[in-house]
Structure 1
């Protein structure tokens, strides 16, 4: 990829900067604090999630990685505020595609997304070394850098624009940088349908020597987005 192509690929208006909360992460990945202690953890792609900020405050060793982190934190915060406004306006028109038991209404969801964004950007300003730019499928860490890798709301969801080859290359990189376990949530596309190449991904992982399970999550907001892939290496 040339420098100009990379610059175009990283233009801020092409990046969605919205994130989930620490509590959502713990529920979607079925984690408790004991699962995280004494582990080196990677969140990739992390976006505007507050998991790294909150977990770090609890003494957990977490690194966040995302294409967005090539940009200045102030620019990311402004982009995040814009993206939240856009997302909430559109979500209000499509409420039936979501389950409203985790969040009671759009306003509560908006508050959670704003809090996640603020926590993320504040921690980015205070601890910049925790936030590492990455352009998937490449991940800029040495082999076996992390015990546990978490990946939410990216892989499988954008199957209309990211093909199977991209997913397999990303899986190979996740396996390279992870020592023990990878968890990926959810297993559906933007329409809420099971990713149509998921069985091929599972076969790839199994042939690489992994033990792979589809596990029900404790979290469902987007309808049918209620399972994760647990990959034991």
Structure 2
């Protein structure tokens, strides 16, 4: 699959989210929206009202990453608000497959996220029900953390499973993705890349996206 570059709004200026979206228009594939609830993870970020509002400010597909408790209750609202892909955490969902079906029925792709300390193997059999597997390459909850190369073992395991089963599932990585780490993630088998500081900390966010894409396709 062609690599997907998804800048994370977590690293942008929250008072200028529409400008942050515009800054990567034409160079990014998705816009990654981190939703944190101060329960599943200690941080608190934007929620559904902001996503609804921002949806009217850009036509970039929204890649919504729910780091929240009770995603079975809240995730469908993000699909109904126009999110392209809604990803929830395996550790938080009561019925991952049922929620994936609900999200797809609401018109969104369904993603399953695996946090740093969670093994990927127990969830591989669920992948036919999903469109994206998001593997955290940091501990979920805060931006700006250092990339953990040991997490790429999960990416390799997932890629082998996806290829063996001929599944149409994106393997996405999130955490510390930058110029010096994206090649290793791509080599391990990732084909979608969330980048926060590497994009919004750059002088030219659009050029940063293009550079990351080039590195991921080497």
For normalisation by structure 1, the TM-score amounts to 0.36
Q: Between Structure 1 and Structure 2, whose CA radius of gyration is higher?
A: 1
For normalisation by structure 2, the TM-score amounts to 0.37
